[in-house]
Amino acid sequence: MIAPSLQLAWRYVARHRLQTLLLAGALALVTALPLCLRVLVQATETAMQDRAITTPQLLGARGSALDLMLTALYFKRQPLPAIPMHHLAEVRKERLGDCIPLDVRFHAQEAPIIGTEIDYFRFRRLELAGGKMITRLGDCVIGARLAAQRSLKPGDAIFSTQEQVFDMAGVYPLKMRITGVLTANGSLDDDAVFVDLKTTWLISGLAHGHDEVAENKEAVLKQEEGNTVANASVRMFNEVTEKNLGTFHFHGDNGEYPLSAIIIVPKDAKSEAMLAGRYLKDKSPVQLIRPREEFAALMSTLFEMQTLALSVLAVTLGAALAIAALVFALSFRLRQREFATLGDLGISPGALILTKSFEVGIIGGVGLVMAGVITVFVQMNAHAWVRLMLA
């Protein structure tokens, strides 16, 4: 009785392929959604937790701790003001740990430009796969994935992106020389451009290089004691070369130059506690955060949202199953004459019930297979999607 019933069910399902696929697809989507949501949350946690856990403390402008963490660890620019350079000198003067400054304000065609010091590469265990480290102003090293995507190598160049279309200060995109490519480490560092701090300040317009005014008398508007005022005919350089390197100079107080954040690696637990206590004052213009604590709070929020989303999806799944049951019931009702004919041919009522059960089972099985395929596809691409989301 089982084999004939299964054959009848299969023939009906195969005959009505479109109806079967639509119903199975609807069941697959509502089944796969909670599974995919869980996969994406896990991928997000995996991608973010290593950098948060391995970074003891972050110093940045007072405001949103989450914005500070996203800026310093994941290179995602947030509406957070910069802090002046003198805070770095103050922390280093305490000798309570190592300090790594970061300037994360600019991009090179969507790739973040990270102004930092050599200590950052040791801290993140980044090594060169080819070329050499930064040697002068205007040099950069790039991440492995960025190099592969854009077919870049040592000796090539990459331009910073002009932040404002109408820049009245005359800050132009800087052409940076690529001196090295880093080894891949599976993090956001693979997609970044690394320069020294002076290069980011050059991009921001705090420094510039130009033709020698003294050699071009036509460019001089006014000569004052110790100062020469030139007109707009003086050519500004948008690339640092060995020939024009000596013409670049900085303006203003170095202690007021901007930083996005400072990574602090305390010497010991006592030093960490002393640093945390120093910046507890609400009136302080800066704040010190522990990324691992902020990450735990963020993941707690994500899990709460996930629980809420799963509850909504559970209701949706229940509604979908109810609709599917209604579709099957209506289908079987419309096929009463068909079932009556099968009964006249000698098929027992039990065999007809078994045939209907097999139809439901086949469609449900196809839906589960499709849900599995969707989930596996999301799982295979989840880490790449999360990296794009964080970029």
Q: What is the 3-state secondary structure (H, E, C) of 135-196?
A: CCCCEEEECHHHHHHHCCCCCCEEECCCCCCCCCCCCCCCEEEEEEEECCCCCHHHHCEEEE
Residue that finishes a domain, picked among 260, 289, 318: 289
Q: Are residues 271 and 182 in the same domain?
A: yes
Same domain (yes/no): 131, 268: yes
Q: What is the pLDDT of residues 70-96, one digit of tens each?
A: 899 989 888 888 999 999 999 999 899
Residue 135 lies in a domain: yes
125 in the same domain as 254 = yes
CB 264 within 8 A of CB 279: no
pLDDT value of residue 148: 94
pLDDT recorded at residue 282:
62
27 and 139 belong to one structural domain: no
- Residue 219 DSSP symbol: G
The verdict on 162 and 38 lying in the same domain is: no
Q: Percent of the chain, pLDDT > 70?
A: 87
Residues 77 and 138 in one domain: yes
**Where does the pLDDT of residue 158 fall: very low under 50, low under 70, confident under 90, or very high at 90 and above?**
very high
The DSSP element (H or E) to which 262 belongs, if any, is strand 261-266
Q: Does pLDDT of 275 surpass 70? A: yes
pLDDT computed for residue 147 by the predictor: 95
- Two tokens at 177? 């020389």
Per-residue pLDDT band for 306 (boundaries 50, 70, 90) equals confident
Amino acid making up residue 141 = V
Do 164 and 253 sit in the same domain of this protein?
yes
Judged against a pLDDT cut of 60, whether residue 228 lies above it is answered with: no
Average pLDDT over residues 385-389: 73
Q: Residue 196 is part of which domain span?
A: 57-209+248-289
Res 112: pLDDT: 93
Do 37 and 141 lie in a common domain?
no
Q: How far apart are CA 222 and CA 250, in angstroms?
A: 21
Instruction: Give the lowest-confidence range in 82-91, 94-103, 230-239, 256-265.
Output: 230-239
Instruction: Say which amino acid occupies 329.
Output: A
Domain limit, last residue, from 289, 316, 347: 289
Q: Based on the domain organization, do 119 and 168 belong to the same domain? A: yes
pTM of the model: 0.73
Residues 130, 201 within the same domain? yes
Between 234 and 189, the higher pLDDT residue: 189
